[in-house]
Amino acid sequence: MENIDWKNLPFGYYPTDYNLRSTWKDGKWSDLEVSSSEFISVHMAATGLHYGQEAFEGLKAYRGKDGKVRLFRWEDNAIRMRNSAQGVMMAEVPDELFFSAINQAVRLNAKFIPPYGTGSSLYIRPLLFGSGAQVGVKPAKEYMFVVFVSPVGPYFKEGFSPVDVELVRDYDRAAPLGTGHIKVGGNYAASLRPADRAHNDGYSAVLFLDAREKKFIDEAGPANFFGIKNGIYVTPSSRTILPSITNKSLEVIAEDLGLKVERRPVPVEELDTFEEAGACGTAAIISPFRKIVDRQTKKEYNYAEKAGPYSTKLYQTLTAIQFGEMEDTHGWTTVLEGI
Ligand code: PLP
Ligand code: COI
């Protein structure tokens, strides 16, 4: 067990002992290689560097109340990475290879899994990119798949305390028929400038609108949006938002809690009517919103200073399943035995 201040871990890169790598060449993936280097050697003409042939994933391993280590819905991350690969014409990582890499990455770095009760977890970052050289705009003929892990705390330093976010109209993270629905690096590059501005203005994150009409809520930079009112959990449906595995899980938990669930376009004006609102994702978990400020119109949408009752219940239930405190009736977790 490492000597780390587990309770106060930020969400960030923390070096661990090993990472896993495989390369795709001539139509097949190589055996996984265990590496103790934090560096990779990449061709200067790699398409991942030039033409954005790159995708990543994010999932976590949790040390449970019973001492067991659990993954949460890893199959969905594997599927999403295959969808991302298809979207930008990269070789797909087979689910078995995906699992084998994350399983080994967690086991080999077991001493970095935060202890139960600290609220922290081991973030797993699978990465796929075009490593083959091209100068014309074409897909590479070689790909690299890497998995590393880092112990992390919550994405927003406030943890489960409400945050302020900035709604922007002068930037989009993805084009209407672009790549917003897959997890490729370009979407995040597009979000950096407005996110930096928001941070400088004192906000935790940016809330983007639909790129075509600027009428509907899309999502936050690193997480999906949800609102709750009149016993209904509302979350946007849009081609340009990332299908969040956390959100998909919260929809089920919301129904279990007796809420109705609506996935539909959410007009900006509706923000006024929500009793609770927040962001959700693997890194963010649930981050309730205290207020949303429209940067252009200056209109403010205010929510409670403390997390609302439904957000709290959703957060407690989700994390109780992840940390093995509650029975996993939906079959979402995979126990990694013997760690
Ligand atoms: N939206 C964006 C843009 C993200 O980067 C993420 C994180 O992966 C999410 C939403 C949340 O998705 P998930 O719950 O699958 O982590
Ligand atoms: C995640 O929630 O896993 C993310 O990838 C969000 C962010 C760090 C990009």
Please state the three-class secondary structure of 108-166 as a single string: HCHHHCCCCCCCCEEEEEEEEEECCECCCCCCCCCEEEEEEEEEECCCCCCCCCCEEEE
* Residue whose CA is at the smallest distance from ligand 1 atom 11: 281
> For ligand 1, what atom is nearest to the CA of residue 245?
15
Has residue 151 got a pLDDT over 90? yes
Has residue 1 got a pLDDT over 80? no
Question: Considering the domain 163-322 in this protein, what is its CATH number?
Answer: 3.20.10.10
What Å distances lie between residue 16 and 107, 113, 144, CA to CA?
Answer: 12, 10, 20
Q: Establish whether residue 47 lines the binding site of ligand 2, counting it when its CB lies within 6 angstroms of any ligand atom.
A: no
**Shortest CA distance to 14 belongs to which of 160, 120, 127?**
120
* Residue whose CA is at the smallest distance from ligand 1 atom 9: 223
* Residue whose CA is at the smallest distance from ligand 2 atom 6: 222
Q: What is the CB-side half-sphere exposure of residue 122 using CA atoms within 13 A?
A: 29
Has residue 185 got a pLDDT over 80? yes
Question: What's the whole-number mean pLDDT along residues 85-92?
Answer: 98
| The model scores a pTM over 0.85 | yes
Which bound ligand lies closest to the C-alpha atom of 218? Answer: 1
pLDDT of residue 46: 98
CA–CA separation, 275 vs 309, rounded Å? Answer: 10
- Indicate if 163-322 has the same CATH topology as 6-152: no
> For ligand 1, what atom is nearest to the CA of residue 58?
8
Pair 43, 113: CB distance under 8 Å: no
CA–CA separation, 224 vs 258, rounded Å? Answer: 21
Write out pLDDT tens, residues 272-318.
999 999 999 999 999 999 999 999 999 999 999 999 999 999 999 99
Give 172-226 as a DSSP string: -SS-TTSSTTS-BHHHHHHHHHHHHHHHHTT-SEEEEEPTTTS-BEEEETTEEEE
pLDDT of residue 157: 80
The domain segmentation of the chain, as residue ranges, is 6-152, 163-322
- Percentage of the chain modeled with pLDDT above 70: 100
CA–CA separation, 111 vs 131, rounded Å? Answer: 31
Question: What's the whole-number mean pLDDT along residues 27-56?
Answer: 98
pLDDT of residue 158: 80
- 28 is an active site residue: no
Q: Establish whether residue 222 lines the binding site of ligand 2, counting it when its CB lies within 6 angstroms of any ligand atom.
A: yes
Q: Establish whether residue 287 lines the binding site of ligand 2, counting it when its CB lies within 6 angstroms of any ligand atom.
A: no
Q: What is the CB-side half-sphere exposure of residue 187 using CA atoms within 13 A?
A: 27
Mutate to test the pocket of ligand 2, among 128, 155, 225 (most ligand atoms within 8 A of CB): 155
**Shortest CA distance to 92 belongs to which of 134, 135, 130?**
130
* Residue whose CA is at the smallest distance from ligand 1 atom 4: 222
Residues in Cβ contact with 5 at an 8 Å cutoff, skipping those fewer than 6 apart: none
Q: Establish whether residue 283 lines the binding site of ligand 2, counting it when its CB lies within 6 angstroms of any ligand atom.
A: yes
**Shortest CA distance to 301 belongs to which of 266, 263, 273, 279?**
273
> For ligand 2, what atom is nearest to the CA of residue 183?
5
Q: Establish whether residue 154 lines the binding site of ligand 2, counting it when its CB lies within 6 angstroms of any ligand atom.
A: no
Among candidate residues 28, 65, 183, 313, the one labeled active-site is: 183
Residues in Cβ contact with 96 at an 8 Å cutoff, skipping those fewer than 6 apart: none
CA–CA separation, 80 vs 83, rounded Å? Answer: 5
Q: Cα–Cα–Cα angle for 115, 147, 243, nearest 5°?
A: 85
* Structure-token pair, residue 306: 């403390």
pLDDT band for 2, please (50, 70, 90 cuts): confident
> For ligand 1, what atom is nearest to the CA of residue 80?
15
Pair 303, 289: CB distance under 8 Å: yes
DSSP state of 32: P
**Strand partners for 54:** 129
pLDDT band for 339, please (50, 70, 90 cuts): very high
Domain 6-152 has CATH 3.30.470.10: yes
Q: Establish whether residue 58 lines the binding site of ligand 2, counting it when its CB lies within 6 angstroms of any ligand atom.
A: yes
Question: What's the whole-number mean pLDDT along residues 115-135?
Answer: 97
* Structure-token pair, residue 150: 């880092």
Pair 37, 46: CB distance under 8 Å: no
Question: What's the whole-number mean pLDDT along residues 223-243?
Answer: 98
224 CA to centre of ligand 1 in angstroms: 6
**Shortest CA distance to 95 belongs to which of 106, 79, 84, 73?**
79
Q: Establish whether residue 221 lines the binding site of ligand 2, counting it when its CB lies within 6 angstroms of any ligand atom.
A: no
CA–CA separation, 200 vs 265, rounded Å? Answer: 30
Which bound ligand lies closest to the C-alpha atom of 80? Answer: 1
CA–CA separation, 266 vs 237, rounded Å? Answer: 8
Q: Establish whether residue 282 lines the binding site of ligand 2, counting it when its CB lies within 6 angstroms of any ligand atom.
A: yes
- Percentage of the chain modeled with pLDDT above 90: 97
Has residue 108 got a pLDDT over 80? yes
